[in-house]
Amino acid sequence: MKIVKRFIYFAFLVSLFFVTGCGSLKTLTCYSEDVVGETTLTKQNFVLKFRNDKIYSLTFSIDVALDGSTIDTSETLENKVSDTFKNYQNVSGIDYSSNIQENRYAVNIKIDFDKLDEAEKEKISLINYESTYEEIKTEFENGGFNCK
């Protein structure tokens, strides 16, 4: 009798899995580490979440170690990045934060595409949100990222 109950329970879970669409969720993580010149180490990490083969969430972080540089270099980087995102400061679905230290600059960006309207999605040039999982993975790998 226990086997029959377990089988019914298992069958219920499997059917629930297919009805709710849980099988259509995927996560793609792409990472890059670059040395520019002799002094700058840049680490980039993208975590992209897909539902039904379309991106619905993007988390991007970058960490730049500026050995031998000054805070002015970090502030220059901050100005370039913040200029890109200043129009999105009050947009629901986009979170942006940064941290400047003496020889280090870090930025984190999270985009929830479900919360953005179509016009806002079109303005974001970080990624083509209409691309599929495989298209985005190929694009990142062609750009020198390691993806899994």
CB neighbour list of residue 77: distance below 8 Å, 6 or more residues apart = 64, 105
> What pLDDT was estimated at residue 9?
35
CA 22, CA 132: separation in Å to the nearest integer?
17
Which stretches in the chain have pLDDT values below 70?
1-23, 38-39, 67-74, 86-87, 124-129
Q: Enter the pTM of the model.
A: 0.72
Mean pLDDT of the chain: 76
> What pLDDT was estimated at residue 107?
86
111: left (phi over 0), alpha (psi -120 to 50) or beta: beta
Nearest to 134 by CA among 54, 76, 43, 31: 54
